[in-house]
Structure 1
Amino acid sequence: MLFELLGPVAGKALLDVGCGDGALASELSQRGAAVTGVDPDPAMIGAARRRAEKEDVQLWLVAGKSEALPFRDGEFDYVLAVTVLCFVPDAKLAIAEIARVLKPGGQLIIGELGSASLWAAYRRIRGWLGHPLWRAARFRSPAELRRLIGGAGLSVLEVRGAAYYPPCAAAAQLLVAVDPWLGRRTTLGAAFVAISAAKPVDANEVA
């Protein structure tokens, strides 16, 4: 779903915010993008470097926070941020930074954990019981994500959902085939929400 929303990336400058171990960054590099990955955890940057060496792909990897991206204004054609905002203390600032480093006409793809699903309920309970990761997480609705994106001056292009099945392997096997169909029609009950947005082109620059 994320790759469908991105579309062709060959020859484009792409930033993967919160790149983790580089799994998505590596795949996008293999699809022809010039990929930069940024992550606040040095251990994740190290893991991404090892993956790049193993898979023989070229990645530019930088340690840094999404709220203070160490890049120039308008440097990237695409920015990808998957399960990042739910763990960032200041999501508004992170989106503003992403908008800053996007070129006019550039595209943002975010993927976030939905707030209204059985998966979210399960994770909230784990957080209440003391799990440090889920205690720190904040799950947002598609409407909240739209407001964050719009507040940074970006225009939402498309919203999709995924993982409508409960956290049960048997249910997943039964329902996974209808997941793409549901994802194009509603986000209600989706455990994962993906949104594509674009940075407007400055009319003065076009002129």
Structure 2
Amino acid sequence: MSWKVFDEYVERYDKWFEENYITALNELNLIRSFDIEHPSLEVGVGTGFFSSRLNIDFGLDPSYNMLLKSFHRGVESIYGFGENLPFRESIFKTILIIVTLCFLSDPHKVLKEVYRVLVYGGRLLTCIVPRDSPWGKLYIRRKLDGHVFYRYARFYTVDEVIDLLNNMGFKVGIVRGILSYEPFEEPYIEEPSEEYIGKGFVCIESIK
């Protein structure tokens, strides 16, 4: 299972945000451009980089070591799996899945659970590295080279995720992207854009 490698290499995972801070900040600013209502949950919270800065109420992850990091960053951290969310029906107004989608063995089951625990009219924000973007192509090459994390990933295009969300009963709304620069170019701060084609990080808002 892919979550076990994150449990083992938590420091390596967390170091990415430090080494790629401008890129991570751009991703954070893209997420901030969407309305986040409370109570909120991040499925696949990891070490809490995003949730701690977005004031997300709860973060869920199957990795204890990741959760320790997110807990120390002030996130209410809960052990669990997206395929079986430990919450009653219709309690969250916003749920975030940030990059986690590509590591799920059964995304349909996770999205079904997300739908269950969202209130009617609640938002799901799904953020991905599109397969057909320069960043996605780099990560696919790394996957083929046996990269410790990306070897477990299945990357999607934006259209594939939109189709998946529609098929699960969500109504897709705003789609925005960021990261106009390519992986080996000098990073710079930029603004989120609804011109998302070719961008390296894209967030898709959908409504229950």
TM-score by length of 1: 0.81
Distance 1:161 1:25 in 2: 19
Q: Which residue of 1 aligns with 2:197?
A: 188
Deviation per CA, 1:48-67: give whole Å up to 9, x if none: 11111xxxxxx432111111
1:55 matched residue in structure 2 = none
CA contact (8 A) 1:161 1:193 kept: yes
Which structure 2 residue ranges, 5 or more long, are not aligned?
Answer: 1-29
Q: Percent identity?
A: 31
Aligned to 2:108: 92
Match of 1:146 in 2: 162
Kindly indicate whether the alpha-carbon contact (under 8 Å) linking 1:160 and 1:184 is maintained by their aligned counterparts in 2.
Answer: yes
Shift of 1:2: 0.9
TM-fit CA distance, 1:188? 2.0
Q: How does 1:64-103 map to 2 (within 5 A)?
A: 64-103=80-119
By how many angstroms is 1:125 displaced? 1.2
Is 2:59 the counterpart of 1:37? Answer: yes
Shift, 1:27, TM fit: 2.2
CA distance in 2 between partners of 1:28 and 1:165 (Å): 24
- The answer (yes or no) to whether the contact 1:116–1:190 under 8 Å persists in 2 is no
- Matched to 1:62, the amino acid is I
CA distance in 2 between counterparts of 1:63 and 1:25 reads 15
The code of the aligned residue for 1:149 comes to L
1:121 counterpart residue number: 137
CA distance in 1, matches of 2:69, 2:182: 31
1:137 aligns with 2:159: no
TM-score norm. by structure 2 comes to 0.80
Q: 1:145 Cα deviation (Å)?
A: 0.5
3-state secondary structure, aligned to 1:132: coil
Asked whether the 8 Å contact 1:6–1:109 carries over to 2, the reply is no
* Partner residue in 1 for 2:9: none
Tell me, in whole angstroms, the C-alpha distance in 2 between the residues paired with 1:152 and 1:72. 19
RMSD: 1.6
* Pairwise CA distance, 1:118: 1.5
Deviations 1:18-70 (A, max 9, x none): 111122222232xxx6x011001010111111111xxxxxx432111111111
Residue in 2 that maps onto 1:205:
none
2:72 aligns with one of 24, 47, 50: 50
CA distance in 2, matches of 1:111, 1:122: 17
Larger radius of gyration: 1
The separation in 1 between residues aligned to 2:54 and 2:150, in whole angstroms, is 28
Aligned to 1:165: 181
Structure 1 runs of 4+ off > 6 angstroms?
none
Q: How many positions carry a matched residue from both structures?
A: 179
Q: Which runs of 5+ in 1 are unaligned?
A: 53-58, 200-207
